[in-house]
Amino acid sequence: MNSRKDSADDRLILGIETSCDETAAAVVSGSGKVLSNVVASQIEIHSRFGGIVPEIASRKHVEAIVPVVDQALTEAGCTIGSLSGIAATQGPGLVGALVVGLSFAKALAFPSGLPLCGVNHIQAHLLSIFLGGEARPAFPFTGLVVSGGHTSLYLVRGPLDMELLGSTRDDAAGEAFDKVAKLLGLPYPGGPVISALAEKGNPDLFRFPRAWLPDSPFDFSFSGLKTAVLQQVKALEESGAELPAEDLCASFQEAVVDVLAEKTIKAAKACGTKDMVAAGGVSANKRLRQVMSERAEEKGLSCFFPPLEYCTDNGAMVAYAGRFMLEEGILLTPDADVYSRLAL
């Protein structure tokens, strides 16, 4: 007899995430309690190339997937038999990387008769707000997903009911952090390094451009900002001046944060939601948290951020998103494929 639980809150879901450069697995209960959350980062190998090399990412996922899932089950004190379902990221992301996680999830789920759901990575980031932490937003809320691959605004009406309001036309905010870090000779990923240097810099020393895009106020563009930083760096180098890395980082970060905060608040007002959520790797940024919280308060709005360990890619958010898909019976069949582009 197996020990699968039936109550929605008690049932255990295994979440598998391999959309980019983290091989991650977690066991989460239906109520959002995280029993284990294992992340094998590939940052060290990709940092040698200054960014993610898709082929290497796929190979590393193949190496890591068995030990990572095994560890997640062991730390949660459960076996395949105690699970109620399995959730794997189906997209968007790097195809070769996604295939590893989804194929592994299929191989676990179908022979053991477990339901399998294919989670949208973006939805999972937005639902990470319900993992850990005490303060939780109420539906509907305005959600900003801000990561290395995405910068998008959503009206989130329910766990699986999200409407895209706008997204980036070129670089994602995290990508801009990574590219600016590279041009300053800083390591990958750029976000945490720039954020640390920015703390000691003057955010007003360089006035970098903000792309407000008045014709589509909920869209973003960060490529002009990246080019402006590059031109500033070149001008400083030509003048023989030493690069004021801390001031450049602070001024660049301020421009990104200003745009993200302003557009999210504008979207919240347009949608009439009181609560706003920022999720994804860049939502770990201290200055973003500070500015969004301050500006939200000024407007009588509330801003929520996931605990730091759930900002960057993880299996817990995938498992938790899977909980709602299981409940709705949105399941995958053995022929299901991954998708690389935004499907939401």
Binding site for ligand KG4 (CB under 6 A): 20, 147-149, 174, 177-178, 189-192, 195, 280-282, 284-285, 312-313
- Shorter beta-carbon distance to Zn ion: residue 132 or 244: 132
Distance of alpha carbon 249 from alpha carbon 98, whole angstroms: 33
Rounded to a whole number of angstroms, the minimum distance from the CB of residue 344 to ligand KG4 is: 14
Task: Pick what 219 binds: Zn ion, ligand KG4, none; C-beta below 5 to 8 Å, kind-dependent.
Answer: none
DSSP structural state of residue 104: H
Task: Pick what 137 binds: Zn ion, ligand KG4, none; C-beta below 5 to 8 Å, kind-dependent.
Answer: none
Q: Give the 3-state secondary structure of residue 131.
A: coil
Task: Pick what 90 binds: Zn ion, ligand KG4, none; C-beta below 5 to 8 Å, kind-dependent.
Answer: none
Which one, of 209, 186, 210, lies nearest residue 198 by Cα? 186
Distance of alpha carbon 135 from alpha carbon 341, whole angstroms: 32
- Shorter beta-carbon distance to Zn ion: residue 84 or 264: 264
Distance of alpha carbon 192 from alpha carbon 311, whole angstroms: 12
Q: Which long-range contacts (CB under 8 A, 24 or more apart) does 99-103 make?
A: 99/58, 99/338, 100/18, 100/23, 100/58, 100/61, 100/62, 100/65, 101/16, 101/17, 101/18, 101/19, 101/23, 101/61, 101/65, 102/16, 102/18, 102/336, 102/338
Q: One symbol per residue from 305 to 324: x for binding Zn ion (CB under 5 A), - otherwise; what is it?
A: --------x-----------
Task: Pick what 177 binds: ligand KG4, Zn ion, none; C-beta below 5 to 8 Å, kind-dependent.
Answer: ligand KG4
Give, as ranges, the residues between 126 and 155 that touch Zn ion (CB under 5 A).
Answer: 147
Task: Pick what 220 binds: ligand KG4, Zn ion, none; C-beta below 5 to 8 Å, kind-dependent.
Answer: none
- Shorter beta-carbon distance to ligand KG4: residue 11 or 177: 177
Task: Pick what 278 binds: Zn ion, ligand KG4, none; C-beta below 5 to 8 Å, kind-dependent.
Answer: none
Rounded to a whole number of angstroms, the minimum distance from the CB of residue 50 to ligand KG4 is: 12
Rounded to a whole number of angstroms, the minimum distance from the CB of residue 57 to ligand KG4 is: 12
Q: Give the 3-state secondary structure of residue 279.
A: strand
- Shorter beta-carbon distance to ligand KG4: residue 104 or 188: 188
* Binding of Zn ion by 175 (CB under 5 A): no
> For 274-304, b where at least 16 C-beta lie within 10 A, e where not — what string?
ebbbbbbbbbbbebbbebbbebbeeeebbbb
- Catalog residues that contact Zn ion under the rule CB under 5 A: 147, 313
